Amino acid sequence: MVGDADDPAILAVSERIAADAPRARLAILPGVGHMLNLEQPALFAELLTEFLADVATGGFDGEPTLVPASTGSDLEGSASAFSPSPAADPSDRADPTPR
């Protein structure tokens, strides 16, 4: 996905990737810049959800892609990348609530 109001170089690279990558798709969102998920969150979520459903069911190109559920064991050794350090105080985090 790329916005048509993004930097022309980004759009050009996106088009080149879509042309060269097997099984690629390109969605160009009108009136959107670089922050697709923030500028058009509903459309971004809809397109992403449809794409992932198509990949999972084979609706994408007739070749279903099986993705096993995570058991958590695949994250062993990298937990620090996904969780705060024990000394971190949760009250120090910024409020993620959109305004």
Domain assignment of residue 59, yes or no: yes
Question: What is the structure's pLDDT at 2?
Answer: 92
Instruction: Report pTM.
Output: 0.57
Is 87 within the bounds of a domain? no
Long-range contact pairs involving 14-22 (C-beta distance under 8 Å, separation at least 24):
none
CA gap 18, 43 in Å, rounded: 20
DSSP3 helix / strand / coil % (the chain, rounded to 5):
45, 5, 55
Q: Look at residue 81 and tell me if it is in a domain.
A: no
Residue 83 domain-assigned? no
Q: Is residue 44 part of a domain?
A: yes
Give, for all 99 residues of the chain, the pLDDT tens digit. 999 999 999 999 999 999 998 778 899 999 999 999 999 999 999 999 988 888 778 776 766 666 677 776 655 655 444 444 454 444 544 444 444
In a domain, residue 76? The reply is: no
Is 36 inside a domain boundary?
yes
Beta pairing, strands 28-29 & 2-3: parallel
* 10 within a domain of the structure (yes/no): yes
Total number of domains in the chain: 1
Host domain of residue 39: 2-68
Tokens of 17: 């990737």
